Amino acid sequence: MNGKEFWGNDDNRTSYVVILGFMLALSLILSYVESLIPFPFGVPGMKLGLPNMAVVILIYRYGAKEGIVINVLRIILSGFLFGNLFGIMFSISGALISFLCMIIAKKSGLFDMRGVSVIGGLCHNIAQLLVAAFIVKTSGIMFYLPVLLVSGAVTGFLNGFIAEKLSIYLNKSFIRSKNR
């Protein structure tokens, strides 16, 4: 999937703004849905990572610049809406590192959309664990590493899978509305 054909040819500014706004709204609502779903394991930092779906689609559709803008806006907005300042600082560290790794993974051309998403999920969890270890100044937290690795890989794979399917349908629906 090279991504360049998504949503037809939208080199005009209006559709660029509309689609970025649409993606920001999508990632925000996914953040909200994620905060509604309780994760029944007592492992800190473990979550579904649904908003990563929107980020992966953005990276493939546009690139690093748009991805990071939407990602940071999403974290700040959802942090103030559904969380607190502590949560913002905590999740921004994981998000930035996972974002960087996803960009590198995509540039390397080794993985498809699902693989890039898996890398994102893994790096997010590892980064959050390292931040947590730094805050509480203990290495005992590494006990959670295997659980977080598997959960990051599985949720990342599912998110990437959904993002891949979603981008195909978005592509179709936008082309249809263009031809109307």
CA dihedral 60, 164, 38, 72 (to 10 degrees): 10
Residue 104 Cβ vs another protein, minimum distance, rounded to whole Å = 14
When the beta carbons of 18 and 110 are compared against another protein, the nearer one is 110
Q: Which residues bind another protein (CB under 8 A)?
A: 1, 41-44, 84, 86, 90, 109-112, 114-115, 118-119, 122, 132, 135-138, 140-141, 143, 145-147, 149-150, 152-153, 157
When the beta carbons of 19 and 52 are compared against another protein, the nearer one is 52
3-state helix/strand/coil string of 107-130: HHCCCCHHHHHHHHHHHHHHHHHH
Helices (H) and strands (E) in the chain, counts: 6, 0
Residue 136 Cβ vs another protein, minimum distance, rounded to whole Å = 5
Residue 167 Cβ vs another protein, minimum distance, rounded to whole Å = 15
Residue 35 Cβ vs another protein, minimum distance, rounded to whole Å = 11
When the beta carbons of 18 and 136 are compared against another protein, the nearer one is 136
When the beta carbons of 70 and 116 are compared against another protein, the nearer one is 116
Give me the count of residues in the chain.
Answer: 180
Residue 62 Cβ vs another protein, minimum distance, rounded to whole Å = 20
138: helix, strand or coil = coil
The answer to whether 6 and 171 have CB atoms below 8 angstroms apart is yes
When the beta carbons of 26 and 116 are compared against another protein, the nearer one is 116
Question: What is the C-alpha separation between 178 and 162, in angstroms, rounded?
Answer: 24
CB atoms closer than 10 angstroms to residue 39: 12
